[in-house]
Amino acid sequence: MAESKEVLISRLMEEGLRYYGEGQMDQAAGCWQEVLRLDPDHPEAQDYLKTAGFDTGEVELFEVSGEGDASLLADALELFRKGEVQESLELFETLARQNPGRMEVQGYFELVRSHLFKYYRERVADTSSVLKVKIAPQEIMKYDLPVDAGFLLSMIDGSTSVNEILALSGMDPFDGARVVHRLLEAGIVEANP
């Protein structure tokens, strides 16, 4: 179900404050600028941008490097607004790689990652749970796992908790949670209390 404009604005304001509190000023400003795109007279977004040292003049519309990028952005935003957040992430990842200096793209990308990180953590449930491989080693080859999934899978020994595996992996917390979620969804591993 798509979010209402008011709910989206509220969420973007909160995300911006979270980024601001973490010292991620560009991501915070990206969230608040998006609020101003939706509501150009939003007083809090204007105040926050001024406080963070960003211009609150006319909000620049997103310009991408080509027509394909504009279409990709439109598709990613539509998926996100329809609640298909996981599907939108791949498109935002591509845009973020292609437009590394665009604060708006990075803001969207971080917004989606934050949203999904909560989702993945909820699905993993108790991160003190121990992961156990459910399938035989010869069956694993059928899955053609990406390198990061194979790496995490190699760490699963039936006695190490999700938290410990993620900490030992050295992976970005989001990427680690994403891989664990995918392994659980695919039925390759299970979590035991």
* Pair 151, 105 in one domain: no
Among 101, 121, 141, the domain boundary falls at: 121
The C-alpha angle with vertex 81 and arms to 76 and 87, in degrees rounded to 5, equals 45
Among 121, 140, 165, the domain boundary falls at: 121
Rounded CA-CA distance 21/12 in Å is 14
* Pair 29, 116 in one domain: yes
* Pair 102, 10 in one domain: yes
Tokens of 121: 């953590």
The count of C-alpha atoms lying within 13 angstroms of the C-alpha of 150, restricted to the half-sphere facing its C-beta, is: 10
Q: Which of 17, 9, 4 is nearest to 41 (CA)?
A: 9
Number of domains in the chain: 2
If one counts every other C-beta atom within 10 angstroms of the C-beta of residue 31, the result is 28
Indicate the range of 45-59, 148-162, 179-193 predicted with least confidence: 45-59
Among 86, 121, 156, the domain boundary falls at: 121
pLDDT at 32 over 60: yes
pLDDT at 193 over 90: no
The pLDDT score that the predictor gives to residue 62 is: 45
Q: What is the span of the domain harbouring residue 133?
A: 125-192
- Which position has the higher pLDDT, 162 or 22? 162
The pLDDT score that the predictor gives to residue 61 is: 39
